[in-house]
Structure 1
Amino acid sequence: MRVHTRHTPSFGVARISLAPGEAVQAVSDTMIASSFGVTEVQQSRRGGPSVFTAPADGGWVDLAPSRPGDVYTLELDGRTGWNVYKDAFLARPSTVRIDHPWQTLQSLFGADTGFLEHYSGTGSLVLGCAGPVDALKLDQGELITVRPGYLLAYPDSVQCRLRALDPSAPQSIRTGEGLALDFAGPGTILVQARKSPQ
């Protein structure tokens, strides 16, 4: 699977090129167009993801997020997993898996379903972003704070702490409202220049 993006950063589109018989899972209703012969199977009648499979001579699929913004390809190397804002997922090959439940996120959020999902494996994880993506590179021991609505992804190698901005104000584990994330390097934090809709 190869990914080429265009119309970024405002109205990103990802062209996913597939080898013969190769498949990619994507958010349903995000396909703009595909080469002839690519098949789509929806995994659930209730809006679950779709699987696009190339015919014997290969093919491509053009995907676009449901809202304006950038499209970003995160390359997973099989060694480090990534924690990704849950509404950012656009597409992934079968070699990239979503880990649910993930123990580190359970310790961060408790029993509730939080605003992050964990991905691991190898290959290209395609993300839809609310705005252009910035990579904030942290040195050893460097600390930063990020508001959850602007977070796109961070690797397992980075230390993370979730806290309330104001303990007396409303907070939501599901959306990140009223919360902040403190990160300690080394590592790279991916943030988006516009806040994700909640």
Structure 2
Amino acid sequence: MQVRTRHTPAFGVARLLLAPGEAVQAEASAMLATSYGVHIEPRSRGGRGRSKPAVFTAGTEGGWVDITPAFPGDVHTIDLDGTQGWCVSRGSWLAVTATLRADAQWPGFHALFGAEHGFLEHATGSGTLVLACCGALDTITLSPGEFISVDPAHLLGYSDDTQARLRAISQSGPQSVRTGEGLILDFAGPGTVLTQTRTPRAMAALLGH
């Protein structure tokens, strides 16, 4: 699968170019259009996105699928080669090739969330992951020994070689590892961190969702 983007960074659209017979999983509600002949197969809810996923399969001549985020913002593509995984915010993925696996119970999350289901998923394998960014995207490349702190609501993802620690902003305030409320993430380099300039919750409130 190849990905071409347009209308970025404000109103990103990702075109997924599929080889003959190639399939990709994407959020059903994210589909804008497809080339004629692409087969759409709805799937049961996997708990990873804002709606039920679907599998899009190109015909004998190949084809394309246009997908777009629910909120105004950028789209970002991560190509994984099997040597390194990525931790991404739950619900941020738009499309994923069948050769990738998303796991909310990745052992690396145990130090962050304990036994609870947190606000992140871990993607591994070889293939392409397309993410929805709320607002504009910032890519932060951390040098060895460099530290930053990020609000979980503004986090899009980070490479899993980046050291991460989750802590409470205030011990007396409400906290949730499922949503990131009342928490902050500390990162230490080397590694890469992706942030988004708007938050899905604030954008939903603004648009009356």
TM interval, shorter chain, is over 0.9
For residues 88 and 29 of structure 2, what CA distance do their matches in structure 1 show? 21
The equivalences for 1:164-179 within 5 A come to 164-179=168-183
Match status 1:118 vs 2:122: yes
Most deviating of 53-62 and 97-106: 97-106
Gaps of 5+ in 2: 203-209
Task: Give the Å deviation of 1:140.
Answer: 0.6
For residues 165 and 100 of structure 1, what CA distance do their matches in structure 2 show? 24
From 149, 154, 157, give the equivalent of 2:153: 149
* Larger helix percent: 2
Query: Taking structure 1 as the reference length, what is the TM-score of the superposition?
Result: 0.96
Which residue number in structure 2 is paired with residue 14 of structure 1? Answer: 14
For residues 61 and 6 of structure 2, what CA distance do their matches in structure 1 show? 24
Task: Give the Å deviation of 1:107.
Answer: 2.7
Which residue number in structure 1 is paired with residue 27 of structure 2? Answer: 27
Most deviating of 104-113 and 148-157: 104-113
From 130, 133, 137, give the equivalent of 1:129: 133
SS class of match (1:197): helix
Distance 1:100 1:195, change over 3 A: closer
SS class of match (1:160): strand
Gaps of 5+ in 1: none
For residues 197 and 129 of structure 1, what CA distance do their matches in structure 2 show? 13
Q: Percent identity?
A: 55
Q: Which residue type is aligned with residue 129 of structure 1?
A: C
Query: Taking structure 2 as the reference length, what is the TM-score of the superposition?
Result: 0.91
For residues 81 and 89 of structure 2, what CA distance do their matches in structure 1 show? 19
For residues 10 and 118 of structure 2, what CA distance do their matches in structure 1 show? 27
Match status 1:38 vs 2:38: yes
Which residue number in structure 2 is paired with residue 91 of structure 1? Answer: 95
Task: Give the Å deviation of 1:45.
Answer: 7.0
For residues 155 and 42 of structure 2, what CA distance do their matches in structure 1 show? 29
Match status 1:103 vs 2:112: no
